[in-house]
Amino acid sequence: MLEKGKLTVIALLSMIILVACGASEDQENASGESEENVQIEINEEDYPEVIASVNGEEIEREPFVSYLEDRASFLALSGVDLDLNTDEGKQSMKELETQVLDLFINDELLVQVVENESIEVAEEEIQQAIEMQKMNLQVTNDEELEHLLAEHDMTLSDLREEAQTYIKREKYLDEHIVVEEASEEDMRDLYDSKTEQMELGEFEEEKERLSLEVENEQYLQGLVELLDQLREENEVQIYL
């Protein structure tokens, strides 16, 4: 399980996937299907007790390995080779370890930066975030939500704190990542690139979607640059 209060953004964003996977597995078992249930088990002892640290704040082995197992099982179920007896599987697992480690480090960086910012979050915003989680998790009331949270060693109070941190993070990112309105030229370039690979409607019909893609790409690029900057400005130690 993810450690409570330790990985706020990760917990909030990964919960849907974790619950969905669990629900899918339960449904398969209940229906009596013979399809193999993929569950990757990773030996914690293969990793140091402290995976990394950010400004002295330690990222511990247990939540890292737990999340790595969840992601590995999900990817294996999707057909990704993670068999450590094959070269391809070893390489895939190594890449996944790096991705998960980056996720933990980036999360901790953002949490620390946001804590030092004077960012206000209204009660209404927190409640909206919780209601959105209810919709995503397909629960109708707080009692059902609390039951699901308990399965992840969390409480409604934990979720409220995480929602507040998540909202602060989004406000911080919105303030520090500049996204300009997609230009006609950028949309046209993207359209031409896509039409070489697939059939699309006329340019004018696709403009709204193209605009979103261009602006999303800008945001992601800005996020990468911001995280790189934060890594340079803060002390990050990796012990893997």
Q: Which CATH number characterizes residue 74's domain?
A: 1.10.4030
Q: Are residue 130 and residue 171 in the same domain, yes or no?
A: yes
Q: Rounded to whole angstroms, what are the CA distances from 66 to 1, 2, 62, 141, 204?
A: 6, 7, 6, 28, 47
Q: Are 173 and 185 in contact (CB under 8 A)?
A: no
Distance of CA 71 to the CA centre of its chain: 10
Looking at the fold, whether 136 and 220 belong to one and the same domain comes out as no
Same structural domain, 47 and 154: yes
Same domain, 29 and 97: yes
- In a domain? residue 238: no
Q: How many CB atoms lie within 10 A of CB 99?
A: 11
Q: Which domain holds residue 131?
A: 8-176
CA distance 99 to 102: 5
Mean per-residue pLDDT pooled into runs of 10, the chain (240 residues): 39 42 44 56 91 96 92 87 84 92 94 91 94 86 88 87 90 93 95 93 94 94 94 95
pTM attached to this predicted model: 0.75
Measuring CA to CA, which residue among 120, 123, 22, 113 is closest to residue 70? 22
**210 and 136, same domain (yes or no):** no
What distance in Å separates the CA atoms of residue 21 and residue 38, rounded to the nearest whole number? Answer: 11
* 72 and 155 both lie in a single domain: yes
Same domain? For 155 and 223 the reply is no
pLDDT score for 235: 97
- Quick one: 128 and 219 in the same domain? no
Only one residue has tokens 């980036």, namely: 106
Q: How many domains are there within the chain?
A: 2
